[in-house]
Structure 1
Amino acid sequence: MPETPGETGRRDAGGQPVSACAAYEGSEELGEARSLAERFLEAVRTTGGVDVGADARMLLPLVVSELVTNVRRHAPGPHMLELELVAGCARVSVWDTDPALPVIREKDPRRVGGHGLEIVTAVCTGFEMHRELVGKRLTAVLPLHDATV
């Protein structure tokens, strides 16, 4: 998992980490994953007591959408999406059953499609991918506070 500085994660009133997780068969609408991200952000705000910036409200569903789309396009079948609040950041993790790691392509504004991981790595402060005993896991870290100028 990507390193995030400071605390390991905010807890809700019952002492549980602020997180969300869903397992998918692969036939669900992509909107379900984006909805999970939006519900997670609401829990971060209300239960975790973290102020979520406008950038994060826009970018987290985009990051989730790009990662889940990548799985559905290149590793169809069962997959899991996990979101966790860690040190003021959203840690987004997507697991699937295919051990092949994706390749992040070179920037090419003329290319149609294939920009998903390019987008994710551009907006996130951390991105890792690694094989697991079964399949692989892609993990991205997105700050929840808007950058100050």
Structure 2
Amino acid sequence: MDESSGDRGLGRPGAAPALETSLTLDGDGSRIAQARHLAAAFLTKVKAECGTPVAADTVQIVQLIVSELVTNARKYAPGPALLRLRTTGPVLRVELWDSNPVLPAAEAPDPSRIRRHGLEIVAALARAITVEQTSVGKRITADVTLATA
């Protein structure tokens, strides 16, 4: 497990500095709580250092998105995964890379289905979601608006 954070300013005059943090997750599946805590701490830092307003429920929403993405990576992808959180203006981008090249697909809502709701939950909570193959697996990206007008 490896955690890093930093200021990745985009160099635009007057723009809030872009912040990012990441967490490398090993294959044992024991880091879901740590990923959730990282997300909460990162949003606190964004609010304090950038002055970006963060809606009251946004922290819980982001923690749920992180939890679903990390859980799915642990369940379906062997080996390590990488979680990255970064701000882009008023948007938080949650990215998760894993080693499974199979792209997940959200299933039609079915109240009788017991499992496989993770991507459905992420899609409902995020402003946008993308799933793409990479040279070593896949990347899932979920964008969340930090504050509502």
Normalising by the residue count of structure 2, what TM-score does the alignment of the two structures yield?
Answer: 0.85
Q: Which of 64, 67, 86 is the equivalent residue of 2:66?
A: 64
Deviation at 1:10, TM superposition (A): 3.1
Which residue of structure 2 lines up, in the alignment, with residue 47 of structure 1? 49
Which residue of structure 1 lines up, in the alignment, with residue 22 of structure 2? 21
Q: What is the identity percentage for the equivalent residue pairs of Structure 1 and Structure 2?
A: 38
Deviations 1:22-47 (A, max 9, x none): 11112233101101101110111111
Normalising by the residue count of structure 1, what TM-score does the alignment of the two structures yield?
Answer: 0.85
Which residue of structure 1 lines up, in the alignment, with residue 146 of structure 2? 144
Letter paired with 2:16:
R
- How do 1:75-114 and structure 2 match up within 5 A? 75-114=77-116
Which residue of structure 2 lines up, in the alignment, with residue 119 of structure 1? 121
Rounded Cα–Cα distance in structure 2 between residues aligned with 1:10 and 1:132: 30
Q: SS where residue 127 of structure 1 aligns? A: strand
Rounded Cα–Cα distance in structure 2 between residues aligned with 1:118 and 1:100: 17
Rounded Cα–Cα distance in structure 1 between residues aligned with 2:131 and 2:76: 15
Rounded Cα–Cα distance in structure 1 between residues aligned with 2:133 and 2:16: 28
Higher strand share: 2
Q: Could you tell me whether the CA contact under 8 Å between 2:96 and 2:141 is conserved in 1? A: yes
Q: Could you tell me whether the CA contact under 8 Å between 2:39 and 2:59 is conserved in 1? A: no
Structure 1: runs of 5 or more not aligned: 1-6, 12-16
**1:10 is aligned to 2:35:** no
Q: Which has the higher contact order (CA 8 A, sep 6+)?
A: 1
